[in-house]
Amino acid sequence: MINPIRQKLIVFLEVNTAYNVDILIEKINDSWMFEERIILLIKKKRYQDAVAMFVENESYEEAEKFCLERPGLESKTLMTILWTIYINKYQETQ
């Protein structure tokens, strides 16, 4: 469970646009702020990077949910990206 203060930050990042996404991504890069970074990547329309982060953190259900919630063709594209990442990850372990 995410603590209440962090949850407020997540809501702020999702709802507001009055901040520089690039600066925030740079500041939290390589930090423990996994969910926050994904939100920022989505804001930058860096969907492939966001999906890859889910997989890297073994958040497979969240990755699939994220891809399926995107509208229309974007959802199909994201699911293709997700399955490609899964296949590549599987091949690396063989």
Q: What is the pLDDT of residue 37?
A: 93
Cα–Cα distances in angstroms (integers) from residue 63 to residues 4, 26, 52, 71, in the given order = 23, 22, 8, 15
83: which residues sit within 8 A by CB, 6+ positions away? none
Q: Taking the model in full, what pTM does it have?
A: 0.78
At residue 91, does pLDDT exceed 70?
A: yes
pLDDT at 35 over 90: no
Total tally of structural domains belonging to the chain: 1
- Split at pLDDT 50, 70, 90, the class of 42 is confident
Mean confidence (pLDDT) of the chain = 89
Do residues 9 and 15 lie in contact, with contact meaning Cβ atoms separated by under 8 Å? no
The answer, yes or no, to whether residue 1 has pLDDT greater than 70, is no
Instruction: Tell me which residue range forms the domain holding 87.
Output: 4-93
